[in-house]
Structure 1
Amino acid sequence: MRTLMPLGAALLLVSPVIADEGSRTIKVQFTKGASAKVIKGSLRGYESVNYTVSARAGQTMTVRLTTANGSNYFNVTEPGKDEALFNGSVAGNKFGGTLPSTGTYTVQVYLMRNAARRGETAAYTLTIAVR
């Protein structure tokens, strides 16, 4: 008697496994007397890097991303929110604005899906300032 393998199990045997490369979180701390930091980094595929920055409501934050990869962007998310305060893939690679709340902001650097799917790498320079 022959047993048949369920279709889902058969697909698992022939489908490529896509690893979730996840994300890294890096706390940004300014040196004494400084209000800006320049960070050099890189990421690959679906990986993202989350830079966390403490700031107060009313302060001004500027973020600039310099990269050779046209699919490399960043988002800025305010404390306690899920929706981005700034979406780089829509607005570009420079953000500046007055912060609406006090707490830890996240600057998430990522590759768009088209580049991530191809496993591209992006080297970047990220400048974050809070005044």
Structure 2
Amino acid sequence: MRHILLSALVLFALPATAQTTIPVQFERGTDSATLSGSIIGDEYTDYVLGARAGQQMNVGLSVEGTNGSGTVYFNILPPGSDGYAIYNGSIDGNDAFIELPENGDYTIRVYHMGNDRDTGKTSGFRLGVGIK
């Protein structure tokens, strides 16, 4: 019985959904890119790009169709972050212009909040990313 209970606890401790990580590369001669994607429920998508301290990052997010409320946001995570964000879209809005504090790979995490997250709704989005 103890073995069955332990197995059940391990199953419930595993993440419910797979998450996606996408490297961002700008076309030669450009300093920006427009990306499209979609998320379902509590999934999130991480876009990762390298940058240097002192560069300016601009990010804009728009919803491109949803079967819910379209509560899609993004956070910007610094290199080596365990979830700490230097920009939180659910608080600061879906247009960011920030100076980057250090060299390394930054993560732009796109995610749902509220009822869309909790009820498994799908939202398409367009993400504009630039570095200068």
The yes-or-no answer on 1:106 pairing with 2:107 is yes
1:51 equivalent to 2:52? Answer no
* Conservation of the 8 A alpha-carbon contact between 1:76 and 1:85: yes
Contact 1:73–1:109 (8 Å) recurs in 2: yes
User: Which of the pair has more CA radius of gyration?
Assistant: 1
CA RMSD of aligned residues (A): 2.1
Over the matched positions of the two proteins, sequence identity in percent amounts to 38
The code of the aligned residue for 1:78 comes to P
Stretches (4+) displaced over 2 A: none
Report the number of matched residues. 119
Alignment partners' CA distance in 2, 1:36 and 1:119: 31
CA-CA distance at 1:80 after TM superposition: 1.9
Give the conservation status (yes or no) of the 8 Å contact 1:22–1:46. no
- Aligned to 2:126, what secondary structure does the other structure show? strand
Structure 1 residue 128 corresponds to structure 2 residue 124: no
Q: Does 1:41 align with 2:41?
A: no
Deviation per residue, 1:10-68 (Å, 9 max, x gap): xx8xxxxxx71131000000111010000011110111000001000010000000115
Can you give the 5+ residue segments of structure 2 that lack an aligned partner in the other structure?
A: 9-14
**Gapped regions of structure 1 (runs ≥ 5):** 13-18
- TM-score normalized by structure 2? 0.82
Does 2:115 correspond to 1:119? no
Contact 1:25/1:49 (<8 A) preserved: yes
Deviates more, 1:109-118 or 1:93-102: 109-118
Deviates more, 1:33-42 or 1:111-120: 111-120
State the distance in 2 between where 1:128 and 1:57 align: 17
- Whether 1:29 and 2:12 are equivalent positions in the alignment is no
